[in-house]
Amino acid sequence: MKTHVIFDSHENIGRLTFAAEVPNKPPTLDYDVLDELEGHLKNISSQQASFDAIIVQSQSSKYFVVGANLQALQQIDKDSILSWIRRGHEVFNRLEDLPLPVIAKITGYALGGGLELALACDFIVSSHNASFGQPETGLGFIPGWAGSYRLPRRIGEARAKELVFTGKTVSAEEAYRIGLTNFVGTDQELEHYLLSTLQAISKNSRLANSLVKPIIKNSLTSSLQTSCYEESVASSVCLASGDTQQRLKMFFEARTHK
């Protein structure tokens, strides 16, 4: 049985890696891949206390992931494609809702469903060789895995419309300029940025990060009053935890010894 998505971890950092099964061909998100990805996501959720963050990446340096196998789309019926799209929604939503930071690392093309997968992560980092786009309208359909929802929340409504209406592909530098990605650099610089970012995340409270993540997400659609309430509940949970009390103790002890 083929392995489409590989999960491994090192020093409390998990990595979800899409296998490059065929040279020079991008990984696609068919049912088998989606099912395998969901299985890993369920395991990560059940073991969330073991991880500080998750990296989503591809074995291929040329491609991240693409959504559809375009040849297969020519032979699929309406009911089947509707079922497949809904399956993608379920899995991408599960990825977005992981209770810990998730970073998409992209070194090649992230187009269509691949970009939508990256948008379900908390933020995206890339090398100079990366390219991004939602080319679906050029093929007669639309972004189907919540790209029309997540993309404007990442880069704004007008820029999202421009990318979707034109179907154009943008460079890594342009993606960074418009706020689609958080970092762009050489392969070496990308690894250094990832390492320093993961070290910073790992120093902080897993509980706090898990509680604040949905509050930030919900703030885009909820009222100020709702966000304040969610913050107050989460803050009380944090303050009651042994980890927070230990961190406060260490903070004041460090100040005393200065």
At 202, list the tokens. 């790992």
- For 181, half-sphere exposure in the C-beta direction (CA atoms, 13 angstrom radius) is 30
At 27, list the tokens. 């990984």
Angstrom distance (rounded) from CA 200 to CA 41: 23
Per the CB < 8 A criterion, the answer to whether 146 and 116 are in contact is: yes
Cβ–Cβ contacts within 10 Å for residue 145, how many?
A: 27
Catalytic residue among 116, 173, 191, 231: 116
Per the CB < 8 A criterion, the answer to whether 182 and 124 are in contact is: yes
At 129, list the tokens. 């060789």
What is the CA 12 to chain-centroid distance, rounded?
18
Please list the alpha-helical segments (H only) found in 120-223. 147-155, 157-166, 172-177, 187-203, 206-218
Angstrom distance (rounded) from CA 162 to CA 72: 28
Residue 116 annotated in active site: yes
Residue 11 annotated in active site: no
Catalytic residue among 11, 38, 90, 136: 136
User: What amino acid positions are annotated as catalytic residues?
Assistant: 116, 136
